[in-house]
Amino acid sequence: MSEARRATAADTAELLRLRGVMLASMAGQGQADDGWQSAAYESLRARLGEREPSLVAFVVDRADITGGLAACAVGRVDYRIGGPDDPVGESGYVFSVVTDPDARRRGYSRSCVTALLDWFRERGTTRVDLRASPEAEPLYLSLGFTHTPDPAMRLRLPPVG
CB 66, CB 42: distance < 8 Å: no
> In the chain, where are the structural domains located?
5-142
Average the pLDDT over 127-134 and give the result: 92
Residue 161 binned pLDDT confidence (cut-offs 50, 70, 90): confident
- Evaluated on CA atoms 36, 37, 39, 44, the torsion sign reads positive
Residue 154, pLDDT above cutoff 90:
no
Query: 4-58 pLDDT, tens per residue?
Result: 999 999 999 999 999 999 998 887 655 556 788 888 999 999 999 999 999 999 9
The 10s digit of each residue's pLDDT in 85-112 is 788 889 999 999 999 999 999 999 999 9
pLDDT tens per residue across span 105-120: 999 999 999 999 999 9
| Burial degree of 47 (CB within 10 A; 0-12, 13-18, 19+) | middle
Residue 59 has pLDDT above 70, yes or no: yes
Return the CATH number of the domain spanning residue range 5-142.
3.40.630.30
Q: What is the pTM of this model?
A: 0.90
